[in-house]
Amino acid sequence: MYIHVLGSGAGGGFPQWNCNCVNCKGVREGTIKATRRTQSSIAISANGTDWILFNASPDIKKQLDDFSAIQPARQVRDTAITAIVITDAQIDHVTGLLTLREHNKPWDVYCTDAVKGDLTTGFPIFNIYDHFRGINHHKVATDESIFTIPTAEGLEFTAVPLKSEAPPYSPHRGNTVPGDNIGMNIKDTRSGKSLFYAPGLGEAEPHVLEYMRNADCVLVDGTVWTDDEMSHEGISDKRAQEMGHLDQSSEGGIMDILTSMDKPRKLLIHINNTNPILNEDSPQRKTLEVAGIELSYDGMEFEL
């Protein structure tokens, strides 16, 4: 399978439009060595021609413009995106659907019932689509059963329920239900290799760790370095875990989890603008490099 990282940043991207934290100010002024990032999304293909979009960020227009394979130009209006998978109903993962409203037929959208509920009530994007071409909703179960997508022949998809957090407009906020957040295990039956994708991860439960250990590549939550990172910059008193993210540096954090695993290639995605690992010369970035953990970046491509 082919994997293309459309966006690797957290909500707001990097630099965030209204932020003057050390990182955002530094990248604007050129005083730190860092790479700009749009908000997280990936695309996956079984054949290099037909692509499945995973989440649709507010930056989708730029991301698609920067990815030539997604526009085959076979007719006046065209796209190589054949289906959309949504892992949660957070703003930075679904707002791009509004940009994609001009599709010439209903979108095939794969998501859980919990996500569908949020996108028809608190943030009713699916209802808005009724005024355009509409949505063909394909229910994604939370029982870890395998499903397939017709335009991704040879790929098997498994939704993995995660403990994270529901969006602020969700009735499940603070009391999540299965399906509010999922990771996705994607296996190529031809090569036997698999990717585990989880841009939001609040707790690494045993079943999640099992998928990660068995994957050939993990592409997981890299939001913050410390649980109280936002308060260091005077931005918010909220801790990362309150927002549904497991930090990297604490005992039992993302770095501890990944370094305990031998098999998978280890990649971080959904990296917040405040995270010191964005500074390529920072000691935190060096710590990750020594641990064999990589940062994904916009436009990154690899094959499994």
pLDDT tens digits along 178-192: 999 999 999 999 999
pTM of the prediction? Answer: 0.96
**Integer Cα distance of 257 and 83 in angstroms:** 32
For the chain, how many residues are written? 304
User: Region 16-33: what's the mean pLDDT?
Assistant: 97
Contact predicate 68/99, CB 8 Å = no
Cα(103)–Cα(77) distance, integer angstroms? 8
pLDDT of amino acid 236: 73
Choose among 204, 208, 273, 202: nearest CA to 243: 202
**Contact yes or no for 10/23 (Cβ under 8 A):** no
Q: Are 274 and 230 in contact (CB under 8 A)?
A: yes
What digits encode the pLDDT tens for the residues 252-296? 999 999 999 999 999 999 999 999 999 999 999 999 999 999 999
Residue with tokens 């039956």: 189
* Residue 73: predicted pLDDT: 96
Indicate if the pLDDT at residue 146 is higher than 80.
yes
Domains of the chain: 2-303 (3.60.15.10)
Helix (H, G, I), strand (E, B) or coil at 257: helix
At residue 240, does pLDDT exceed 70?
no
The values of phi and psi at residue 83, to 5°, are: -165, 160
The tens digit of pLDDT for each residue in 75-105 reads 999 999 999 999 999 999 999 999 999 999 9
Nearest to 224 by CA among 202, 204, 245: 245
Q: What is the mean pLDDT of the segment spanning 13-27?
A: 97
pLDDT tens digits, residue range 35-69?
999 999 999 999 999 999 999 999 999 999 999 99
Quick one: pLDDT band at residue 244, thresholds 50, 70, 90?
A: confident
